[in-house]
Amino acid sequence: MRVVRTERILSCIVDPWKIRGIFHLDCNLEEHELKKLAELYNGRYSKGLRTAIITVNGKELTVFSTGKVGVRLAEDEKEAIALVNSVLAYLQQVLLMEEV
């Protein structure tokens, strides 16, 4: 799981000095992965929308089961991609530890 493509970068509505972006992952996410993500970061999971919404270091991430991720309040595109990749790496690590 990692970011493979940036769809769009816009200025953030809340803070015009920051960005919001939409990124595509190299895979889709399963329901149990989205639930675990919401649990790990004290976020919310919507079964109807198949979406997890979490906040990490003041940045809001919306992760869709289709493999799209929305990021708000990031400093720049590099920071947003690094944040998404680190969150997904942590999720994979936790899921692997649960299998053992």
Over the stretch 28-43, which tens digit does the pLDDT of each residue have?
999 999 999 999 999 9
Q: Is the pLDDT of residue 100 over 80?
A: no
- Position of tokens 């997890």? 52
Domain range enclosing 86 = 3-99
Number of domains in the chain: 1
Encoding tokens for residue 81? 């991609």
- The per-residue pLDDT for 1 is 87
Residue 79's domain is classified under what CATH number? 3.30.310.10
User: pLDDT digit string (tens) for 40-96?
Assistant: 999 999 999 999 999 999 999 999 999 999 999 999 999 999 999 999 999 999 999
Instruction: Using DSSP bridges, classify how beta strands 19-25 and 51-56 pair: parallel, antiparallel or unpaired.
Output: unpaired
**21 vs 25: CA distance, rounded Å:** 13
Whole-angstrom distance, CA of residue 21 vs CA of residue 47:
23
Which residue type occupies 30? Answer: E
Q: What is the distance between the alpha carbons of residues 30 and 51, in angstroms, rounded to a whole number?
A: 10
